[in-house]
């Protein structure tokens, strides 16, 4: 009896928590479907009086959100592909290949993990200016192409690969590049998938650096465009919500599809120290 | 002989593999940070952009100005407010959520886990936009809901007393899910035998929590606390979107936001770099302190 | 296994190619020049309607308008300048001109203006043209003017015993007191958003405050003139005549003006159109505009206001300055300016455009015509944008009762001195090197 009561209380708390957590997201979708101005009425409605897609149409037809969407996708995919490759290469080398200075360099990188990236932003801007990459896609891609965290993640995973496997391949005459491409990459697949999801979400959601480095609106990413749109259309709640839905939904769907890998990565970052 | 040849090809391969990654990290991360340190010792600004002759080494002048600038201290206070209040609250909510989804009584834990975790993957800028409307004094759902229990409307983002709590509330909502996952995994790794032993001694739920769960969870807990703390010190996008860059009366101006404003609004690059470095030192000190305290707690 | 590597390589290649394809294109393809034109806020939206006519007249030129939200406009523009990715031309706030000129980002236009058959300096309001002149060179062509003055509720004022708008501060104060007494709690006499610097600036200029001193090298906000203006301004809040609201706390200026939440509002020409559009129809004859009252009878009426507005500037980095200048000339044509006025409500900076019936016959715009003859520029230092933000930030604590006016002005002077520190150094260096 007591157990049933506890269980009831527990589930009530869980349901309440889940409702509170999801409410802002659900309201975002609801408001994006309301006729213009409806969200700003008293009492605030939760459901649209009738469903309209006019704000989405407005975003695509007049505000060029399609282009912005393409930018976000292009940048997130490029950074993901390139950084997974570079991080995998470096992480594997730190784990399995012997070279002078290996442990010292790796220790140094670990120490640098505590450096907040915000410190780098000002000079990075000046560097990009020197390279002529302000307001170019490369200005966003290059700094994201390798991360200490990514190298660390791959290295920890690759450590568990038995040396005998590599030695056997070498005896068979396989080149180092081939060993990496045909043995290491497949073996590291789980962590690489995790890393890819992390990187994709991180790039998609990133705001500070793209805000600074992308000045041309034809290169804007969704968060930057959304913040910009907000400056002009604060009053247009429904339009802003439609923009938010377009920004959030892709990553939310990706997460729902690949949840298992994402969670796995979070744990590896958290527990395998 | 053969071994040497093999070694050198391995070394060559190793450099080939680490080279590109290290080059990127060096060029676009470490070098700029070193440059930031140098920059903070100069008066780099728009005059210097126009004409390099207007650039001067000023030693620690920027830092001295910083320490005398009441706006910097305000940003510092706000940031600490956010970290010291928001951080523990986030961790406590995360722990509560982790305990709930890990409870043996819970049905469909995966479902709840997904729901709690969903905000963590969303785009902060979009979410802050959503919350800005939720916080609206007249049309916001939050005030409407508070109205049901008889609480008068609060001007969340316009009132200096409420703006930071509003940002904290959003941050808890956004961040507790990720912490929860890590804590839940930590809970899972606690051997069941310890609980059985405790139960044999007649320990109830509360005593099990205090004497088994929390001590065993300590390392995970520390990790979560440190990561939350580091992340929270870098508060930026929330006030950037939610309170239009630190309003009202700079009550939500964070150190990172101050750096952005000084750096990219007025191009006081030298001064902004000094702000960034002080932020870094504070984060480093706070992290070290937490780890030290935790070690002493263990000993 | 190797299939996957190949797949990865393929993806890599595709992404590279697509990136290359999207790399910044040069402004010229097939003999057609594409001008990149940045315009701010609402003007950025509306100017797109004028472009087709320009493109029809100039088949070799295409114009790509980028709209920049007004809130981030200044930092966005500076970022582009420092990053070396400026557009060909842009709409810039005229108080930013000294800064952009100092940065060598925008080009002097003297020769182009001299040769131009469209941009005739004599036709522009002198106070407005002057804001574009830095060290004797003109860097921008005024596009529209924006000076602030009184918007007021005629019915509320008449009911308070003022059938005519106030002409001196004393009358104005009396009118506000009576309006407030009739309105009761929760309603106010005047709306002055606390996060705007224009209102205290105008009041200070009316009393002749210089704002900066010693060759614009130090702040001078503790001067008797500005001290008096700040006292008057802060007093409006302290005595309950004005609410201490920032822009983000105001729900709807128009609804609240219609509801009688306030009877006076110091704002600019864009609100003439907005008031007409957004006020309910029954409010149609219940509001008007008036030039700023003079501080006292010893000074000329109307009192001065500050010369605001936006100019069109060409960037030095542009590869198509001749084409960009054509667009400037097109947008400066009196007929186009009148059309622009109809679209935006923005006021033209040229006297000849004011002759058009839509402007000359408009009662609510007439006050602006009078005010425009009495405008002075803000101090022309590159740091002005920063100083202007500091003005309201320093005064706000005094308004909210957390500080006194004197403490606020001391704080303001200290901060402005610090902002101008580099300017002092640079000026001293220039003098030392004999330049």
Cβ–Cβ contact A174 with C under 8 A: no
State chain B's mean pLDDT as an integer. Answer: 87
Least confident of A135-144, A155-164, B80-89, B162-171: A155-164
| The pLDDT of residue A204 is above 70 | yes
- pLDDT of A38: 83
Residue A83 — left, alpha, or beta (φ > 0 → left; ψ -120 to 50 → alpha)? alpha
Edge-to-edge strands, sheet with C264-267: C190-191, C264-267, C149-153, C287-290
| pLDDT for res A269 | 57
**Whether C5 and A128 lie within 8 Å, measured CB to CB:** no
Structural domains present in chain A: 53-271 (1.10.3720.10)
Decide if B24 contacts A86 (C-beta within 8 A): yes
Distances, alpha carbon B29 to alpha carbons A72, A114, A120, C153, in Å: 22, 12, 6, 59
Q: Using an 8 Å CB-CB cutoff, list chain C residues near B56.
A: 425
pLDDT in tens, A83-142: 999 999 999 999 988 889 899 999 899 888 878 888 888 899 999 998 999 999 999 999
CA distance A2 to chain C (A): 51
Q: Would you list the DSSP string of C313-380?
A: EEBTT-S-HHHHHHHHHHHHSHHHHHHHHHHH-PBPSBTGGGGSHHHHT-HHHHHHHHHHTTEEPPP-
Contact status of A109 with chain C (Cβ, < 8 Å): no
Q: Which of C418, C422, C424 to mutate to test the interface with B (most CBs of B within 10 A)?
A: C422
CA distance B291 to B227: 11
Interface contacts (A, B; CB < 8 Å): 283
d(CA A243, CA B103): 38
pLDDT at B233: 92
Q: Which pLDDT belongs to residue B287?
A: 86
Residues of C in contact with B49 (CB under 8 A): 81-82, 103
From C12, C19, C83, residue closest to A129, measured CB to CB: C83
Based on DSSP, count helices (H) and strands (E) in chain B, helices before strands: 16, 0
* Among B115, B256, B287, beta carbon nearest to A21: B115
Q: Please determine, for residue B207, whether its predicted confidence score (pLDDT) is greater than 90.
A: no
Nearest alpha-carbon partner for C173 in C228, C226, C235, C227: C235
- Which one is predicted more confidently, B173 or B214? B173
Helix (H, G, I), strand (E, B) or coil at C89: strand
Q: Which of C22, C80, C84 sits opposite A137 (nearest CB)?
A: C22
| Site of tokens 């990127």 | B24
pLDDT in tens, chain C (435 residues): 344 444 445 444 444 444 544 444 445 556 899 999 999 988 888 899 999 999 999 999 999 999 888 878 888 898 898 888 899 999 999 989 999 998 899 999 999 999 998 999 999 988 899 999 998 999 999 999 989 999 999 999 999 999 999 999 999 999 999 999 998 888 999 999 998 999 999 999 999 999 999 999 999 999 999 999 999 999 999 999 999 988 766 766 888 898 899 999 999 888 888 888 888 888 888 999 999 999 988 888 889 999 889 999 999 999 999 999 999 999 999 999 999 988 888 889 998 888 888 888 888 888 998 898 889 889 989 899 889 999 999 999 999 998 999 999 999 999 999 999 889 988 998 888 865
The gap from C-alpha C431 to its chain's centroid, in whole angstroms, comes to 33
Span A74-84, mean pLDDT? 95
Q: Which residue has the tokens 């057609």?
A: C32
Average pLDDT, stretch A246-259?
Answer: 90
Read off the pLDDT band of B56 (50, 70, 90). confident
Crossing angle between the packed helical segments C198-206 and C384-399, to the nearest 10 degrees: 90
Question: How many angstroms away from the CA of C83 is the closest CA of chain A?
Answer: 5
Instruction: Report the distance separating Cα C417 and Cα C117, nearest Å.
Output: 44
Among candidate residues C329, C336, C314, the one with its CA nearest the CA of residue C36: C314
Q: Are A228 and B107 in contact (CB under 8 A)?
A: no
Q: Say if residue A68's pLDDT is above 50.
A: yes
Give the other-Cβ count within 10 Å of B226's Cβ: 18
pLDDT of A272 over the 70 cut: no
Contact (CB, 8 A) for C99 and A231: no
Chain A residues whose beta carbon lies within 8 Å of the beta carbon of residue B273: 119, 122-123
User: Are residues A137 and C19, on separate chains, in Cβ contact within 8 Å?
Assistant: yes
- Closest by CA to B157, choosing from B179, B138, B144, B185, is B138
Query: How many Å lie between the alpha carbon of B136 and the closest alpha carbon of chain C?
Result: 9
Specify the pLDDT at position B7.
57
The DSSP-derived string for C69-83 is: -GGGHHHHHHHHHHH
Inspect the interface and report whether the beta carbons of B249 and C396 lie closer than 8 Å.
yes
pLDDT value at position A273?
36
Of A78-82, B243-247, C194-198, C321-325, which gets the smallest average pLDDT?
B243-247
State the pLDDT at residue B299. 54
CATH placement of domain B70-298: 1.10.3720.10
Tell me the domains of chain C and their CATH numbers.
29-146+307-372 (3.40.190.10), 149-306+379-427 (3.40.190.10)
- The partner residue sitting opposite B121, judged by closest CB among A127, A201, A273, is A201
- What does the pLDDT read at residue C22? 43
Instruction: Read off the tokens for B231.
Output: 């992340």
Question: Lowest-pLDDT range, B121-125, B190-194, B231-235, C155-159?
Answer: B190-194
ipTM above 0.90, yes or no: no
pLDDT at A271: 45
Q: Among A14-23, B24-33, B110-119, B203-212, whose mean pLDDT is lowest?
A: B203-212
Summarize the confidence of residues B178-202 as an average pLDDT: 86
List CB contacts of C12: < 8 A, sequence separation 6 or more.
A81, A82, A85
What is the number of residues in chain B? 299
Structure-block tokens of residue B162:
């409420």
CA proximity to A150, closest of A217, A203, A195, A206: A195
Residue (of C371, C389, C405, C414) closest to C232 by Cα position: C405
pLDDT at C20: 46
CB contact under 8 A, A81 and C15: yes
Domain ranges of chain B: 2-39, 70-298
Subunit contact A18:B115, Cβ cutoff 8 A = yes
Query: What's the confidence (pLDDT) of residue C332?
Result: 94
Q: Assess whether the previous peptide bond of B248 is cis (omega < 30° from 0).
A: yes
pLDDT at B12 exceeding the cut of 80: yes
Is B162:B249 a contact under the CB 8 Å cutoff? no
Read off the tokens for C33.
């020049």
Give the separation between CA A65 and CA A240, rounded to whole angstroms. 12
């Amino acid at each position: 009896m007591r157990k049933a009561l506890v269980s009831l209380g527990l589930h009530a708390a869980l349901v309440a928590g889940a409702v509170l957590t999801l409410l802002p997201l659900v309201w975002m979708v609801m408001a994006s479907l309301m006729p213009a101005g409806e969200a700003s009425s008293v009492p605030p409605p939760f459901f649209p009086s009738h469903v309209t897609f006019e704000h989405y149409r407005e975003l695509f037809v007049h505000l060029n959100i399609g282009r912005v969407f393409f930018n976000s996708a292009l940048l997130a995919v490029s950074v993901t592909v390139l950084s997974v490759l570079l991080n995998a290469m470096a992480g594997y080398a730190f784990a399995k290949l012997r070279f002078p200075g290996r442990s010292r360099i790796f220790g140094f990188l670990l120490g640098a993990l505590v450096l907040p990236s915000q410190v780098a932003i000002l000079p990075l801007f000046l560097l990009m200016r020197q390279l002529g990459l302000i307001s170019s896609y490369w200005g966003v891609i290059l700094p994201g192409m390798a991360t200490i965290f990514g190298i660390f993640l791959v290295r920890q995973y690759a450590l568990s690969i038995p040396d005998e496997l590599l030695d056997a391949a070498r005896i068979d005459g396989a080149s180092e590049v081939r060993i990496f491409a045909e043995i290491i990459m497949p073996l590291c697949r789980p962590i690489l998938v995790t890393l890819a999801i992390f990187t994709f979400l991180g790039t998609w959601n990133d705001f500070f650096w793209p805000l600074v480095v992308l000045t041309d609106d034809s290169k804007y990413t969704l968060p930057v465009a959304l913040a910009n749109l907000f400056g002009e259309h604060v009053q247009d709640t429904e339009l802003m919500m439609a923009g938010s839905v377009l920004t959030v939904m892709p990553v939310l769907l990706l997460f729902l599809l690949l949840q298992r890998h994402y969670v796995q990565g979070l744990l590896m970052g958290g527990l395998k120290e | 002989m053969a071994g040497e040849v093999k070694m050198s090809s391995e070394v060559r391969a190793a450099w080939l593999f680490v080279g590109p990654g290290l080059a990127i990290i060096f060029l676009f991360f470490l070098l700029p940070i070193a440059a930031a340190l140098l920059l903070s010792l100069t008066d780099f600004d728009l005059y210097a952009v126009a004409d390099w002759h207007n650039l001067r080494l000023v030693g620690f002048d920027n830092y001295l100005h910083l320490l005398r600038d009441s706006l910097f201290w305000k940003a510092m206070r706000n940031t600490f407010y956010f970290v010291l209040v928001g951080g523990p609250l986030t961790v406590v909510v995360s722990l509560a959520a982790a305990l709930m989804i890990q409870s043996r009584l819970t049905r469909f834990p995966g479902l709840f886990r997904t729901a709690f975790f969903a905000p963590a993957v969303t785009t902060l800028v979009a979410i802050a936009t959503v919350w800005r409307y939720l916080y609206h004094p007249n049309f916001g759902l939050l005030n409407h809901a508070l109205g049901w229990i008889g609480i008068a409307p609060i001007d969340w983002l316009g009132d200096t007393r409420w703006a930071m709590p509003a940002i904290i509330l959003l941050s808890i909502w956004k961040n507790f899910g990720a912490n929860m996952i890590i804590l839940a995994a930590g809970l899972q790794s606690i051997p069941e035998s310890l609980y059985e032993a405790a139960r044999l001694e007649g320990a109830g739920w509360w005593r099990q929590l205090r004497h088994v769960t929390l001590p065993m969870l300590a390392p995970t807990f520390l990790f979560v606390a440190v990561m939350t703390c580091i992340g929270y010190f870098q508060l930026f996008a929330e006030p950037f979107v939610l309170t239009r860059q630190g309003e009202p009366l700079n009550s939500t101006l964070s150190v990172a936001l101050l750096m952005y404003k000084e750096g990219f609004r007025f191009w006081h690059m030298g001064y902004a770099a000094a702000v960034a470095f002080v932020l870094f030192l504070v984060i480093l000190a706070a992290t070290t302190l937490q780890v030290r305290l935790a070690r002493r707690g263990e000993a | 296994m190797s299939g996957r590597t190949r797949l990865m390589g393929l993806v890599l290649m595709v992404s590279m190619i697509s990136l290359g394809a999207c790399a910044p294109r040069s402004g010229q393809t097939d003999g057609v020049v594409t001008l990149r034109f940045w315009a701010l806020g609402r003007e950025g939206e509306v100017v797109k309607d004028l472009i087709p006519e320009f493109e029809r007249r100039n088949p070799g030129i295409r114009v790509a308008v980028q709209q920049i939200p007004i809130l981030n406009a200044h930092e966005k523009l500076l970022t582009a300048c420092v990053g070396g990715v400026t557009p060909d031309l842009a709409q810039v706030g005229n108080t930013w001109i000294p800064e952009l000129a100092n940065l060598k980002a925008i080009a002097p236009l003297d020769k182009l203006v001299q040769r131009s058959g469209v941009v005739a300096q004599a036709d522009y309001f002198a106070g407005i043209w002057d804001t574009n002149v830095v060290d004797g060179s003109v860097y921008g062509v005024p596009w529209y003017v924006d000076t602030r003055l009184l918007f007021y509720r005629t019915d509320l004022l008449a009911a308070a015993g003022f059938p005519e708008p106030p002409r001196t501060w004393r009358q104005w104060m009396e009118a506000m007191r009576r309006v407030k007494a009739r309105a009761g709690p929760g309603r106010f006499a005047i709306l002055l958003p606390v996060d705007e610097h224009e209102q205290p600036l105008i009041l200070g200029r009316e009393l002749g405050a210089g704002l900066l001193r010693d060759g614009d090298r130090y702040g001078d906000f503790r001067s008797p003139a500005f001290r008096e203006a700040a006292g008057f301004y802060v007093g409006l809040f302290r005595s309950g005549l004005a609410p201490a609201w920032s822009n983000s706390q105001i729900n709807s200026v128009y609804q609240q003006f219609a509801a009688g939440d306030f009877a006076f509002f110091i704002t600019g020409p864009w609100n003439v159109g907005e008031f007409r559009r957004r006020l309910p129809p029954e409010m149609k004859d219940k509001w008007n505009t008036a030039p700023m009252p003079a501080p006292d009878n010893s000074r000329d009426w109307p009192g001065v206001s500050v010369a605001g507005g936006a100019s069109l500037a060409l960037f030095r980095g542009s590869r198509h300055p001749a084409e960009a200048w054509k667009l400037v000339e097109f947008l400066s044509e009196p007929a186009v300016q009148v059309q622009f006025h109809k679209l935006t409500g923005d006021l033209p900076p040229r006297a000849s455009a004011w002759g058009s019936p839509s402007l000359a016959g408009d009662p609510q715009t007439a006050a602006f015509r009078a005010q425009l003859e009495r405008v002075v520029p803000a101090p022309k230092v590159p740091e002005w944008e920063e100083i202007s933000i500091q003005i309201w930030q320093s005064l706000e604590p005094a308004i909210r009762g957390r500080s006194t006016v004197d403490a606020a002005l001391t704080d303001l002077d200290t901060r402005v001195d610090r902002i101008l520190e580099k300017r002092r150094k640079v000026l001293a260096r220039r003098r030392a090197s004999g330049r």
